[in-house]
Amino acid sequence: MVKPSLPRLFWAFARYGNLTFGGGTATIATLHEEVVERKNWIGQESFDLAYALSRLTPGTNLLAFCTAIGWRLRSWPGAISTLVAASVPCGVMAVMLTICFSWWSKNPTAQIALKGALVAAVAVMAITGITIIRPHWRGTSRFQLLLFVAGAFIASFWLGITPIRVLVVAAVAGLLWPVGGRKA
């Protein structure tokens, strides 16, 4: 096994820990390719141990994983280096994107675009809901469907009941509602 210098370790984790899209698992897979297969910095067994331990820790598993690999490679300096490399650039990027979004949302043209995006998102959610519900429409009258949809809308929008509670009540009502002359 080759022991990397702190700058090389930092750069590898900054690069792969911040530029890999697809979540923590995709990032860990990319880091596996880099630190185990390409660079031979750590063995498969140590990598597996770091991965398993990171899955058991509370909080962000990716940061726990990076810290564990850094610890195995360079002790405290490595753990701190990999943690900072995998977290600070993303944090700075999130702050910058938030600032840009804040500025952008005050722009009249951007507000129109955001409203259009919101309409599109609602339409996609509605179509997804219809697609999921469609197989269960058989044996249900239009009146029953209208009753459920209107009731959910009224409960959520006008009565201020949280969506989770509306979904729970709808699930219970759906289980108890008679279908085709018998209970489902």
Q: Do 130 and 101 share a structural domain?
A: no
Structural domain that includes position 22: 6-105
Domain contains 18 = yes
Taking only the tens place, the pLDDT of each residue in 90-148 is 899 989 989 988 888 788 888 888 889 889 888 888 787 777 777 667 667 778 778 87
Q: Do 117 and 96 share a structural domain?
A: no
User: How many structural domains compose the chain?
Assistant: 2
Distance between CA 52 and CA 69 in Å, rounded?
12
At residue 182, the pLDDT reads 47
CB 144 within 8 A of CB 177: yes
Q: Do 33 and 121 share a structural domain?
A: no
Taking only the tens place, the pLDDT of each residue in 16-74 is 988 766 678 888 988 999 999 999 999 999 999 999 999 998 888 999 999 999 999 99
Q: Do 27 and 86 share a structural domain?
A: yes
CB 26 within 8 A of CB 75: no
Identify the domain boundary among 105, 120, 145.
105
Top-confidence residue, 170 or 10: 10
Q: Do 172 and 118 share a structural domain?
A: yes
Nearest C-alpha neighbor of 85 from the set 139, 31, 132, 36: 31
Q: Do 121 and 92 share a structural domain?
A: no
Q: Do 128 and 44 share a structural domain?
A: no
- The answer, yes or no, to whether residue 181 has pLDDT greater than 80, is no
Which residue type is seen at 6?
A: L
pTM exceeds 0.75: no
Binned at pLDDT 50, 70 and 90, residue 153 comes out as confident
